[in-house]
Amino acid sequence: MASKRHAPPASYEPYEDEGTGPYDVYDPYDAYSSRSSHEAYGPRSDEPWDEWNPTEESIRPVRGRHRVGKQRGGGMARSGAVLGVGMIAAVGAGGMATAKDKDPASISMPDLASAANTIKELPSQLPDAKELPGVGGLVGGDTASADGTAVAAQAPLTSAGVTADEAEAGQTDAGEALRSRILAQAEQQQSGADAAARAKAANEARQKAAAEADQKADAARKAEAERKRKIAEEKRKKAEAERLAKLARSYTAPLSSYQLSAGYGQAGGMWQSDHTGQDFAASAGTPVKAVHTGTVTEAGWAGSYGYRVVLTLEDGTELWFCHLSSMTKSSGDKVRTGDVIGRVGSTGNSSGPHLHMEVRPGGDDPIDPLAWMRGKGINI
């Protein structure tokens, strides 16, 4: 048993002189028991001292009732020192201190082999680490042996948590392996976050591209609709122009309902020479139409012709419409084939309501109106 030495001398000197006079000392086992200063405090600082070895008798606890007296200044410090010495002695004695009414307490060292086996069996009694929240991802790479037992569970305690792949790679430190897995998981999470961000950006780009494509498609549809509208408008205008052109090229009879009477060159007492035009007998007020497209160059009273409208065609031919009761066009008006220019009457040198029509090419002498109109396709 290892010997114990006294602690260095206290910073104070409890002795009054070299005597052995009694002092009242606080003792937790016998309060204020009468002991000598040598017994209470040990040898003086200037006295020689030897090693002290505790014995069974010196460390045996005092039996009997304990009296607790009034604590004096410094009593707690001294009692603590006494208790400390007692505890050290008890430990140094190897557990030899006993109580009268109790069996001695035995102190035994743990079986390290049994503890190692217990540690090895501990993983089988614990839940699967993969099922623990926040931990399963850190040990997700463990592999199992042929009998289904995790490699980490079979490994020594110092290498617990090291997977077969990590062991093959030369990694034997469980903490470093765990740190590597944490870093790998963090990198994986960062990669996942980056992938999610890229996917989000790509999705937004696709949505933006789709919106732009829709806008372009809508603009293209509008442009196509506008193009078709313009084409339709151009076709309509073209058709109208063609119709007008056709109408302009067309010719029509001056009256819808008539009866031929005095013809061109006919002699009679109503005129000084041969008849210079063609008469169309009809009821008074019958509409008189423009035979062809042209411009009204005269519209008014013309003596023996009564009210007369002169229509000049593009080739310079003049058409005279005479004996009208009224005129609906004025000089300078442009008319198309079929436009009403006046109404049948009997004004001027006339024996009754009828239309007197003359055809004068280039404004010169008249020609036979019937022959001219028939030459234009008019069925007279």
End-to-end Cα separation, the chain, in angstroms: 161
Sole residue written with tokens 């102190």 = 107
List pLDDT tens digits, range 43-79: 555 555 555 566 666 666 555 454 544 445 455 445 4
Average pLDDT along the chain: 74
List pLDDT tens digits, range 201-228: 999 999 999 999 999 999 999 999 999 9
Which of 15-19, 32-36, 171-175, 225-229 is least confident? Answer: 15-19
Distance CA 20, CA 356 (A): 182
Strand partners, 320: 310, 358
**pLDDT tier for residue 155 given thresholds of 50, 70 and 90:** very low
List pLDDT tens digits, range 243-295: 877 766 789 999 999 999 888 988 765 655 678 899 999 999 999 999 999 99
Is the confidence at residue 328, as pLDDT, over 80? yes
* DSSP label of 209: H
Distance CA 5, CA 52 (A): 6
Sign of the alpha-carbon dihedral angle for 5, 7, 10, 11:
positive
Report pLDDT for 41.
54
Closest by Cα among 325, 335, 330, 328 to 291: 335
Burial class (CB in 10 A: 0-12, 13-18, 19+), 54: buried
Is the confidence at residue 316, as pLDDT, over 90? yes
What does the H/E/C string look like for 181-216?
Answer: HHHHHHHHHHHHHHHHHHHHHHHHHHHHHHHHHHHH
Closest by Cα among 325, 316, 246 to 287: 325
List pLDDT tens digits, range 122-131: 656 666 655 6
List pLDDT tens digits, range 82-118: 455 455 544 454 444 444 455 555 555 556 566 556 6
Q: In the structure encoding, which two tokens stand for residue 70, read together?
A: 């009034």
